Amino acid sequence: MPKGWLFDISHENDGLCLWVKQGGFVKQYHKEYKNSFFMCLPEGFDSSGLMTDAEADKLAKKETFRTIYGECRGWRIHSDKNFALELEKKTRYYAEFYNLDVRIEQKYLAENNLSLCKNVDEETFSADSKSPLTEITVAVAGKPYSDKEMKGISIECRGEIEKESGEDLDLCKFLISAVSEYDPDVILFDNADGWMQKICSVARENQIFNSLSRTGIFRPLKSRSYFSYGRMEYKPSAMIPCGRIIIDSARNFMYRQGGMSGIFLASRLTGISPNLTARFTPGTVVSNYEVFEALKKNICVPFRKSDAEMMRISDEVRIDYRGGLILQPKPAVYECVSQLDFTSFYPSIIVKYNLSPETMQNPSIEGFLPSVIGPLLDFRVQTKEAKKTDDSFAGMDAMLKWMLVTCFGYTGYKNAKFGRIELHEKITTIATEILTDVCKISESFGFEVLHGIVDCVWVKGGDTKPLKCTIVEKYKIPIETECYDWICFLPQKDGSGSYTSYYGRLCSGKMKIRGICARRKDIPLYVRNMQNEMINLISKAKNKEEILLFEDDIRGIYNNFYESLPDAPVSEFLVRKRMGRCEYSKNCISAAVIEMYKKSGAQISPGMDANFVVRDAVRHITDPEWNIRGIDVSYYRKLLDKAADEIFFLFSSIKKEEKYFPLKH
């Protein structure tokens, strides 16, 4: 492979197509690659005659290969998945397959010691890798999931902006011509996944070479809805080009979190094109990272998991297992509070305690998961420190953060290649023991423990430096500390303390808010603006006494927003709601939204976000964002009350009222 910056790779019928940036030019390389996988059978299984024809045709040969559990004796087979499935049936599903569903790009790169998005002589975990790729920015006027036609296109390149309006054909010609002229490597395209099917369709119908792919060929990705971490998610369809990177800058979550530097890092770590990693979830990224690392270590990846959960004696099952530790706070306002937060707590536990599926029965061997998660932890220490003085490292740091957050969850996912239920339980059990011990140590230092949740605790008292040093020395896991002048833990509907809703003033003067209306995406902008204005005002108060001085001003803000609500722009009352399904048996707001979208001819699928206003809450009438005919003033004033209550609790708590009454009108 010639030296250069390998930035795209895709599988073709007879091999792989690689795209490399060399000295300002992009070159395409074709590499032949013969795919293979491994199969093994249980000891004592009669395999006579099973592989005779395949061995005669030199499609299979006996070979020893490695898994995380050790060596296996079986066959290396040069064929496709269909052949494997036939063998699976012939062996009555006793056969175990490895590397069968691993992406061919990952296999090729691992076998040839190559990585994407870096120069050949650069380290994989390098914070100094710089991209030589050129970029343009594209924006289309209109909304792809409701508008039937594009209303205009603007293109920004090298500081210059070009705009065009007209029919779809004219706009497509303008875009394709601009891409041909500028020849960018990266296209940052707002709502690309919504518009690309139309652009490709127009180009195909009019026999125009579509230069958004350097070959004119696109690989379609199907849309799908799926359930993840307790809620429905939606992945839109996409058109994947060859030799260019097209990023949906509005909808690609990984791009919004990590920017291009984060996408390039994810691609480098997974061996998968930036076009795909930009559209993956963090969990899929870390899962593919583990697969790529396994291939580089010559460890084979199982096709169908047989170790998701091993048989256990009932007496050994933890009947009292409840997951991470959570302490419920007492709703109130507290002064002189510190938050002790373990950095990458669960990943650190995996590494520190050598936790991996194969070490559950053999803890003395080096575990696979610690060997691949350890470098991520070390690299994040570098990027986290570097971003303090250079914002360009923030994208890589964000990508590493999300990968480390999700690597624990995948240990308990039934289809995770390197996961296992007992492993998941062991990690959370250790975490609970550590956090319980941290609470005891804090109390021994004279601190009052106010709240705790999974990987952090809030304590009331003086200087926490000696406490922090003691905990870090004992567990060798880094801790970050945040100190509050004051913090308010809010109540739940039943009056007990909320686990996740709080706000407070840090000693730096900044406000930290979690779980309240100002942070929620399903709360209208008008309501969030009111609460943010209140929060900005109370951020000036350094203690309880000063907070009380702002009560009249806060009530004035509330009254002003309450009275001005009917005259505010209707666009400020849009509600953003994640649709969990597309069929509802009861008449409700969600059902009305689904019906509204269907009547408008707009696409709606489970997991998609719908933007709408409530025109009549009693009769469940809603309007789409592109056709707002009015708002239900009473409904939105109730939302204002809810947001105001979260702030007025601050004053009632300080004044130690025996009972807190929400706002009434």
The DSSP line for 262-325 is HHHHHHHHHTS-HHHHTTS-HHHHHHHHHHHHHHHTTPPPBSS-S-SS----GGGS-TT---S-
pLDDT of residue 308: 67
- The parts of the chain modelled with pLDDT lower than 50 are 320, 657-662, 665
Burial 195-211 (b: 16+ CB within 10 A, else e): bbbbbbebbeeeebebb
For 164, the enclosing helix (H) or strand (E) is strand 160-164
pLDDT value at position 598? Answer: 82
Q: State the Cα–Cα distance between residues 609 and 625, nearest whole angstrom.
A: 12
Asked whether residue 75 is domain-assigned, the answer is: yes
Q: Which residues pair with residue 276 across a beta bridge?
A: none
> Which of 296, 318, 344 finishes a domain?
296
User: Is residue 46 located within the same domain as residue 183?
Assistant: no
Characterise 142 by phi-psi region: left (phi > 0), alpha (psi -120 to 50), beta (else): left
Classify strands 332-342 and 456-460 as parallel, antiparallel or unpaired. Answer: antiparallel
CATH number at residue 186: 3.30.420
Q: What is the pLDDT of residues 251-279, one digit of tens each?
A: 899 999 999 999 999 999 999 999 999 99
Q: Is 556 a member of any domain? A: no
* Contact of 112 with 6, CB cutoff 8 Å: no
Map residue 243 onto helix, strand or coil: coil
Q: Residue 430 gets which letter from DSSP?
A: H
**Residue at 37 is within a domain:** no
Q: Is 90 helix (H, G, I), strand (E, B) or coil?
A: helix
**362 plus 499 within the same structural domain:** yes
Three-state secondary structure call for residue 502 = strand
State which H helix or E strand residue 116 sits in.
none
Same domain, 377 and 502: yes
Domain membership of residue 148 (yes or no) is yes
Q: What's the gap between Cα 399 and its chain centre?
A: 9
Distance CA 57, CA 52 (A): 9
At 600 the three-state DSSP class reads helix
Q: What pLDDT is recorded for position 388?
A: 87
On whether residue 630 sits in a domain, the answer given is yes
Question: Residue 366 is encoded by which pair of tokens?
Answer: 């080096």
Helix (H) or strand (E) holding 107: helix 104-111
Q: Identify whether residues 421 and 332 lie together within a single domain.
A: yes
Question: Which strand (E) or helix (H) includes residue 7?
Answer: strand 5-12
Tokens of 312: 């256990």
Q: Domain containing 361 — which CATH number?
A: 3.90.1600.10
Inside any domain, residue 423: yes
Per-residue tokens: 246 = 């097209």
Quickly tell me which residue has 């939302």 as its tokens: 639
255 plus 380 within the same structural domain: no
Q: Are residues 292 and 330 in the same domain?
A: no
- Looking at the structure of the chain, the number of domains it has is 4
Q: Which residue, among 369, 362, 360, has the nearest Cα to 291 in the 3D structure?
A: 369
Q: Which of 33, 67, 97 is the last residue of a domain?
A: 97
Is residue 457 a contact partner of residue 436, using CB atoms and an 8 Å limit? Answer: no
31 inside domain: no
C-beta neighbour count of 321 within 10 angstroms:
10
254 and 400 fall within a common domain: no
Could you tell me which residues come within 8 angstroms of residue 664 by beta carbon, excluding any fewer than 6 positions away? none
Considering the domain architecture, whether residues 385 and 438 belong to the same structural domain is answered as: yes
CATH number at residue 632: 1.10.132.60
The torsion angles phi and psi of 638, rounded to 5 degrees, stand at -65, -35
- Of 296, 315, 338, the one marking the end of a domain is 296
**495 shares its domain with 447:** yes
Q: What is the pLDDT of residue 318?
A: 58
Q: Any bridge partners for residue 245, and if so which?
A: 186
HSE-up of residue 41 (Cα within 13 Å, Cβ side): 17
**Does any domain span residue 124?**
no
Q: Could you tell me if 264 and 375 lie in one domain? A: no
Buried b (16+ CB within 10 A) or exposed e, 60-80: beeeebebbeeebebbbbebe
Token pair of 71 as six digits: 């060596």
Sign of the CA dihedral running 486, 491, 495, 499? negative
Contact 534, 361 (CB under 8 A): no
DSSP structural state of residue 144:
T
- DSSP label of 521: T
Q: What are 396-441's pLDDT values in tens digits? A: 999 999 999 999 888 887 778 998 888 898 999 999 999 999 999 9
Tell me if residue 234 falls in helix, strand or coil.
Answer: strand
Counts of helices then strands in the chain (DSSP H, E): 18, 26
Q: CA-CA distance, 282 to 133, in Å (whole number)?
A: 24
SS3 26: strand
Residues 167 and 276 in one domain: yes
Residues recorded for the chain: 665
Q: Which residues contact 599 (CB under 8 A, 6 or more apart)?
A: none
Domain with 152, as residue range(s), is 135-296
The token pair that represents 252 in the structure block: 């690609």
pLDDT at 658: 47
343: its two tokens? 């950095």
SS3 state of residue 443: helix
Residue 416 sits in the same domain as residue 495: yes
3-state SS assignment for residue 575: strand
H helices present in 445-489, as ranges: 465-475
d(CA 476, CA 460): 24
